[in-house]
Amino acid sequence: MQPLTRSMMTGAIALAALTAGQAQAEFQLSERFTDADGDLVADIPEDESQWLDPDTLIFAYTPVEDPAVYAEVWAGFLKHMEEVTGKKVQFFPVQSNAAQIEAMRAGRLHVAGFNTGSNPLAVACAGFRPFAMMAAEDGSFGYEMEIITHPESGIDEVEDIRGKTLTHTSETSNSGFKAPTALMASEFGMTSGEDYEVDFSGKHDNSVLGVANQDYAVATVANSVKNRMIDRGVVDADQLEVLYQSDTFPTTGYGAVYNLAPELQEAIKEAFFSFDWEGSELAEEFGRSGDEQFIPISFKEHWSVIRQIDDANGVEYNCS
């Protein structure tokens, strides 16, 4: 079984045009926020009385893998953030994208990395202002969505998924649900819930382990997570086979909640862009995916294709 040629998600974008019959729908923030400059993220409040300046900053990394592992991975970076901001910084382990978004929306989470698919919802509903992303030394970034199976599944190509169960991660995940759902309909003519059944594992590592252990026949995952698990020896590469690989998507976006004091937001940005990766736990873990630095990003620009995929899937950002 050979992986298909890397293929950009043009099918998903074409489906968006067919679904909407027009250009991409306008991205809307919750009524709680303003966007005077048109950058698609919430403005910092002009009224100083609305600014937050907590003694302790709460940080959460997207819940794609074991939170206990990543508390250690981020420890050195959070110490650096303490030195730059003059604040205590606490790692907050989250078990789901929904819990992470709700924590920021409720004011309990100040700085975070939201995964690709949940970024638009966090921006629209929680006032998340993403400004950074991990990248390689040359500035290249991102990951690919893969549809994976195991050698004993009897599934040799994507068309063989028809009539079977495709395991996704969560409904907020780009590579774990949104992109492959659009892809299956636009490129392979299969509609989720009609031509194949779906279930959800909750996390990318659950899906990778489930396929490797033959609990799931076929699943959709971010290959950055899969590759790190192979490098750590959690699974063996020969336990998995790749049916499809997309072109590159933006990866986890890092940022702060909109109503932190402006000076504090700038200090948090400085912490990301001044962090020395050499010899750090971040370099050891994320270097497995080729990441060596944080680079500036724009939600309006870098997440355009993700918003198009959401539009193709009829996603609405319900902020009630």
Domains of the chain, earliest start first: 10-21+143-249 (3.40.190.10), 48-140+250-312 (3.40.190.10)
Contact partners, residue 252, CB within 8 Å, separation at least 6? 61, 62, 113, 114, 115, 116, 133, 134
Ramachandran bin of 117, using left for φ above 0, alpha for ψ from -120 to 50, beta for the remaining angles: alpha
Q: In whole angstroms, what is the distance from residue 229 CA to residue 45 CA?
A: 41
**Amino acid letter, residue 256:** A
Alpha-carbon span 91 to 45, nearest angstrom: 26
Q: Which of 248, 199, 208, 207 is nearest to 227 (CA)?
A: 208
Q: Which of 146, 136, 185 is nearest to 291 (CA)?
A: 136
Closest CA to 297 of 174, 127, 116: 116
- The two three-digit tokens of residue 148, written as one number: 């994976």
Position 64 scores a pLDDT of: 63
One digit per residue, pLDDT tens: the chain, 320 residues? 333 332 333 333 333 333 333 334 578 999 999 999 999 999 999 999 999 999 999 999 988 667 778 899 999 999 999 999 999 999 999 888 899 999 999 999 999 999 999 999 999 999 999 999 999 999 999 889 999 999 999 999 999 999 999 999 999 899 999 999 988 998 899 999 999 999 999 999 999 999 999 999 999 999 989 999 999 999 999 999 999 998 788 999 999 999 999 999 999 999 999 999 999 999 999 998 899 999 999 999 999 888 888 887 888 887 87
Burial label for 141, CB within 10 Å (0-12, 13-18, 19+), is: buried
CB 258 within 8 A of CB 50: no
In this structure, are residues 260 and 110 in contact, taking their beta carbons and an 8 Å threshold? yes
C-alpha 313/C-alpha 315 separation (Å) is: 5
pTM of the predicted structure, to 2 decimals: 0.77
Q: What is the reported pLDDT for 15? A: 36
Residue 294: C-alpha distances to residues 72, 83, 104, 227, 291 (Å): 19, 18, 22, 20, 8
Residue 217 to residue 318: CA distance in whole angstroms: 32
